[in-house]
Structure formats: C-alpha cells, structure tokens
Chains A and B, each alone.
Chain A
C-alpha cells in the first residue's frame, strides 16, 4: 500500500481543522473588540455557517482523495469514502435547491457512509492509538442520531459536547497517524 498518499490525507485533515480553529479563535476574540474589521472576519452565525461550508468542501475533497488513493493501491473499500463524498455533495446540492425530502434521504445515506469511511480508516490505521481513537470517534458518530431522535432538543447540549469530542478525537488520531506514517 502506498503509505505516502495516506500520510498527506492525515496532514490535510489536521491542517483544515487547524485553519478553522484559528479562524474561529481569532474572529471570536476580535469581534468583541472595538476595532474596525472586514465583515468576513466577524464571528456571526452567517459567517460561521459559511466557514463551515468551506471546511466541509475541503474535507470532502480530502475523503475523495483518500478513496482514490486506496482504490489505486488495490483496496476496493476505497470506494466507500469516494461515494460518501459524492453523496454528501449531492445531498448539499439538493438542500440548496430546496428539495428537503430527497436531500434528507441522501444525507442519511451519506452519514452512514461517513461511519463506513471511519471504519475504512480504522482498517488501514497503522498505530494502535490512532486505531482506538478512530474507533471511539466512529462510535460517537453512530450514537449521535439515535440520541437526537430519542432525546430531541433536550439533549442538544450533550450532542454538542459529543460532536466536539468526536472532532477532537479525529484530529488527534490523524496527527498520530501522520506521525506514525511520516517518521515511524
């Protein structure tokens, strides 16, 4: 298997997350300061959504890259992240076209495939630590929808913390994996 190509996936994963964190930290602090700022730097809900969309697009591109490099190396499970990225893109496009029901169906499929993608990453992970962290992230990801369905808006705060845990876990897991592939 081409180790180098997966290495770049994990590096990209950390970089994209870091860029988003940096923007949210800077803009959240600068927003409350009495200095004139360009509008895009303000931490308003509209801008947060816009930044989130950019991050999602970059992440989908990364997952597509992951899938392609796995398939090239003869691992057919690479189709899962590829199809996932594709279905997510279709789902978002339908959402923008105000086709709520088909968008929901497609996005549910994409979400299940995202969990599948995590499983694919677990199967290719080279270090035990990152494997464990990805497993935890996949479990959290799988738990969020049933929790929301049962608890509704009452559990929204817990879901928020779960999502943050999931994000933090994947970032650390990616960093460990990048370290393992790059140096180890």
Chain B
C-alpha cells in the first residue's frame, strides 16, 4: 500500500503534520491553555472531584459540572438522575440548583451561588486561608428502588472570584494555577450501594415541591427550612437570657415590596372633568434601614437585616383617559425582597449566675417552648426599585383584596382600616380642599407640555401625619395571610396550615410588629396632579401601609366623588379651602 514513492511521500507529509500537531497540543496542555487537572479527590467508591485550570473555553461558563454514571458490574455509563446542589454559607446551607439529567452545570455566576459567595466574602477573611464546600445529592430512581448519593465537593471562594474576573484584596494570595472548572463524577454503583424503597407520596391530588410551596401574585412562598435565604439563630452572641433557634416550620416569602402607589377607580375614568389629568408619582428616599426580628411574647430579639436604601429622586407619570383607560394602580416597588415567618425553639441560659457575672451564657440547655418570629431575611441593597402598573394582578391589588380582609379575618381587626386611611385633599367645584395637609404648587414639563402640578408631598413619615415610630411597625405576616386568603378558596395550602398551627395568631399579633428603625437623610414621596381645571372633581386619600410592608409605605387613592370608603363625615385637621387657579 505504501510501497510507491508517491504514497510514501504522502505518508511522510502526514507524519510531519501529526508531529507538529502533537507538539502544539503538548505545549497547550502544559501552559493550561486547555483544561488541565491541578488536583483530584477520590470520594471513596461514590465519586471523584477533579479541578481543572484552563483558559476560558467558548460557551463553557466557569463553575461546577456534575456527571452521573451508573456502575453495574464492569459497565459504566452516563445516566439520568436527580441532582440537587447546596452550598455551605457562613450561617447555613443554601439551595443552589437542581435538575433531572445526566449532567448539571452550576456556573459561578448563578445568583444563588453568588449570594453564598458574597456572604463568604463579607467575612473579610483572605480566600487562601479557607476552603468551603458544595453539597451534592444525586438520586437515581429505577422502578420502585432509589439510590441516594451524598457528595461533598470542597472549593475555594477565590476561584469563583478569579474565574469571574473580579479582583478583591481577598484574592491577592491565590496561586497561578487557579481551577476554573470543577468536574464531579458521581458513581451510582447498583451492586454496592443499597437501594431505598420508593414510597409514592400522597398529596391530596396536588403535587408540592418541598422547597417551593407556590407562586401567588408574583410572590414566591418557599420553605425556608429547606432553601435559602434561611433564618439565623438569635442572638448572634450568647449575651442574653434566651436563645432562639429556627425550626422546620418556616415560611419564606420572596417578592416585591411596594414603596408607594396611586390607585384610581372607574369613577375617576368616567368623570368628564378628570379626563386628561396628569398623574405624577415621585419617590425620594435615602438612608439606612434596620429591620428587627420580632418574636411573639418576647418582642425584639435582634436585628434581622440591615441595608442602605436609596430610592430616586425619580418619577413616573401618565395621563388619565388617554394613556390609562381602566382602573388600576401605578406603583414603585422594591424588587426581590425576602422575609419569613418562622417558628423558633426557645432555650434559656443554663447558667444564669455566669451570665449575670460575665455577660455571656456558657450554654443554653433549658427548653422553654416555641415562638413565632417575623423577620426580614434579605433586601437587595440600594437602587433596585421600579415603577409599573397593576391592573388587578399585582401586589397592590393583593393588598386591597387579600391583606385587608385577611387581617380582619385572622387578627380580629383590619390592619388597613379607616384609621390607616387619611382623607387628604380634594378638587371640587373649582376649590381645593386641603383637608389634612398642605397641597403644594409647582411647575413641571411632562411630555413636552408645561403643567402646573398640585403636589401632595409626604415630607417624612413622622411630620406628615404625626405618626409615632411605634405605629410604623410592620406585620409582614399579613402579606402571607393576604395571599393565603386568596388561595384558600382552592383549599388551604400546606404552608398556610403550617403557619396557623404555629400558635394562636390573633392573640399575639401585637408582638409581631417589626419596627424598622430608619436613619434617613432624605425622605419625600409625592403625588402631583397636573392639568387641573375648575371642572376637576378628584378626592385624594392616603393609605398608610407601613405596618404591612415594614417600610414607610404610602399609597394614594383617587376617587371622583368622595374619599376612599365613602365616609359620611370626616375631620379636617388642616382645613383650608382655596380657589383653583
């Protein structure tokens, strides 16, 4: 075959080409241009973890890759399985990702993983001084048997920072061959591992994810004993008489926190004099907010979350009748806040004399009982706010149709009742009735047109209505119950039962008010009404929902003929009448 001189020359060319390619690959491997293992760990017969240093591979994000293999005798083949990944955080374990496939990728920039990585980074310890780990559970199910494989995958937080190209002083001491890819091979050895019997769960016809209870009105209700963010233990240092430890009865809520809104009814849209009015909603808040965890019967048990908040100045506006033709609300809201209602076990200090003498408790061993705690688990810092419309399916509607009736049902009194609605001001018969506060007057160009804006400014919570800090307490629990009351029509959900079984709520609601202590530098929320004429008929009520949301939260309600709730009489503390124009 290779006897002819021509074919032999061809073979020689091929050999030369192959030699050059081989040398190039050799060099690429040695300088970590392609993935090259830096270390490897064998986890008994269950699996192995290999760490690869590499230049970035196209379309392969740096992170962890889990592969599942079925080992049966001498056969090793990829197999589809449930893969569940958790990350260890400084204060607990956070669920990161899950999937049902032969491979699962979790990139370093996965938002759940980022949450954990940032928690570690916030400790301020150089990354080279410690490793942390991911927990991987692989469940392979065949017939009525299942094999569960737990794997612990050590990694360094600094690798993620290096792979994402983020420089912090904490990464300074990392070595040159930093792993970029972590590959985990999990072996389901059906000959060696004992299977578990699969017992089908009966869920009354409705299948429930043990981690996510459901999504209602864009609020995700999750089991915070299984997924993060998770509630911490209180207090952080053993300096008090009681220690509070979270139990598995934990309902977490993730969703938006309305900051302020304006709601208009059908009557406003039908009122001729109100057509063409410009409605302008502005927010401006800057300061630090601390949310304290509140326990029934124990009160404030420590700060659950603290964040520096910064809203605006920013405004959003629309024209009644032309840009907006159906009843609804325009609202500013906070994206991605998380809070929880959690049952805690309470332990008393075992050596009170020591606590009194030295200021800290050596051990808590006296079980006292349980208590329900309302706490904020996570609020994104700064600037994560948006304005949008709600036509019956958003958090503002949820507040009206859910939280208000629910609070009445569960607590015996409505949280948002006549006392939380202020009859503020009205435009009627060519007059401005400044009932319970001043109405300002400013000029603003909106959509190229110069308007005279009549402005209702909430210049700080205390000043506006003389509300005390205590009244600014929050009962985040009401949002849950608000949602609960809406979905209860379809049968009470598991999590609602979980909450209600936690104790008699109505007797203890006062203890669940979380007063956010704010240190604000600016706070002014305002509603502007432009294009007002003598035929305008508009009643402005202000609703104080601070208790419900745990923020200084105010909503404006617009009606054409009377204040919100059609009061027959109302008192006007400010009481001032002026002509329009």
Residues of A in contact with B (beta carbons under 8 Å apart): 10-11, 14-15, 17-18, 20-22, 24-25, 28-29, 31-39, 42-46, 48, 160-161, 164, 167-168, 171-172, 174-175, 178-179, 182-183
| Selected contact of A32 from candidates B9, B19, B52, B102, CB within 8 Å | B52
Whether B103 and A35, one on each chain, are in contact in the complex, defined by CB atoms closer than 8 angstroms, is yes
Closest chain-A Cβ to B9's Cβ sits at a distance in Å of 5
Give the interface SS of chain A, mostly helix, strand, loop or mixed. helix
- A179/B30 in contact, CB under 8 A: no
A-contacting residues, B107-136, CB 8 Å: none
- What is the interface of chain B, defined by CB distance below 8 A to chain A? 5, 8-9, 11-12, 15-16, 18-23, 25-30, 34-37, 40, 48, 50, 52, 54, 57, 60, 65, 67, 69, 76-78, 102-105, 181, 183, 185
Say yes or no: B11 contacts A25, CB within 8 Å: no
B26 engages A28 (CB within 8 Å): no
B19 touches A172 (CB 8 A): yes
Q: Is B30 in contact with A31, judged by CB distance below 8 angstroms? A: no
The answer to whether A44 touches B18 (Cβ under 8 A) is no
Q: Which residues of A contact B48 (CB under 8 A)?
A: 44, 46
Q: A179–B35 contact, CB under 8 A?
A: no
B104: chain A residues at CB < 8 Å are 34
| Residue in A11, A25, A35, A183 whose CB lies within 8 Å of B34 | A25
The answer on a CB contact under 8 Å between A21 and B25 is yes
Kindly list 5 other residue pairs between chains A and B, CB separation below 8 angstroms, not including A36-B78, A44-B183, A161-B30: A15-B18, A24-B25, A42-B185, A44-B185, A171-B22
Question: In the complex, A183→B19 CA distance in Å?
Answer: 17
Smallest beta-carbon distance A91→chain B, Å: 25
Residues of chain A contacted by B18 (CB below 8 angstroms): 14-15, 18, 175
Contact A32:B65 (CB < 8 A) given known A38-B77, A42-B185, A171-B19 = yes
Taking the nearest CB of chain A, how far is it from the CB of B25, in angstroms?
4
Contacting pair B60 A182 (CB below 8 A) = no
Given the complex, which residues of A lie within 8 Å of B77, measured CB to CB?
A: 38-39
Q: Give every chain B residue within 8 A of A42 (Cβ-Cβ).
A: 67, 183, 185
Q: How far is the CA of A182 from the CA of B2 in the complex (A)?
A: 10
Chain B min CB distance to A81 (Å):
20
The answer on a CB contact under 8 Å between B40 and A44 is: yes
Query: Which of B12, B29, B102 is within 8 Å of A24, CB to CB?
Result: B29
Residues on B with C-beta less than 8 A from A167 are: 26
Please, could you name 23 A-B residue pairs with CB atoms under 8 Å apart, sorted by A? A11-B11, A14-B15, A17-B19, A25-B28, A28-B34, A28-B35, A31-B35, A32-B54, A32-B65, A33-B65, A39-B69, A43-B52, A44-B48, A44-B183, A48-B37, A164-B27, A168-B23, A172-B23, A175-B20, A179-B15, A182-B8, A182-B12, A183-B12
Q: How far is the CA of A77 from the CA of B54 in the complex (A)?
A: 45
- Measured in the bound complex, the distance between the Cα atoms of B102 and A184 in whole Å is 53
In Å, the complex CA distance between A22 and B16 comes to 15
Residues from chain A with Cβ under 8 Å of B50 in the complex: 31, 43-45
Given contacts A28-B29, A45-B40, contact A37 B78 (CB under 8 A): yes
Cβ–Cβ < 8 Å partners of A172 in chain B = 19-20, 23
User: What is the CB-to-nearest-CB distance from A58 to chain B, in angstroms, rounded to a whole number?
Assistant: 14
B427 to chain A, nearest CB (A): 62
Are B29 and A25 in contact, CB atoms less than 8 angstroms apart? yes
B37–A45 touching, CB < 8 Å: yes
Q: A183 touches which one: B9, B20, B23, B102 (CB < 8 A)?
A: B9
Provide the bound-state CA to CA distance between A179 and B27, in Å. Answer: 23
**Complex: how many Å from CA A42 to CA B9?**
36
Residues on A with C-beta less than 8 A from B105 are: 34
With a CB–CB cut-off of 8 A, which chain B residues contact A39?
A: 69, 76-78, 185
With known contacts A29-B57, A34-B65, A43–B19 Cβ distance under 8 A:
no
Q: Are B181 and A22 in contact (CB under 8 A)?
A: no
CB distance from A106 to the nearest CB of B (A): 28
Pick from B16, B22, B102 the residue with the most CB of A within 10 Å.
B22
One of A36, A160, A182 near B102 (C-beta < 8 A): A36
Chain B residues with Cβ below 8 Å from A43 are: 35, 37, 50, 52
Flag if B65 contacts A21 (CB, 8 Å): no
A182 touches B35 (CB 8 A): no
- For the complex, give the distance between the alpha carbons of A159 and B258 in Å: 64
Q: A31-B35, A37-B78, A39-B76 are in contact. Are A179 and B16 (CB under 8 A)?
A: yes
Rounded to whole angstroms, the CA-CA distance of A182 and B78 in the bound complex is 45
Residue from B16, B19, B34, B181 having most chain A Cβ neighbours under 10 A: B19
A18 touches B8 (CB 8 A): no
Contact between A28 and B52 (Cβ–Cβ < 8 Å)?
A: yes
Question: For B40, B67, B76, which residue has the most chain A Cβ atoms within 10 angstroms?
Answer: B67
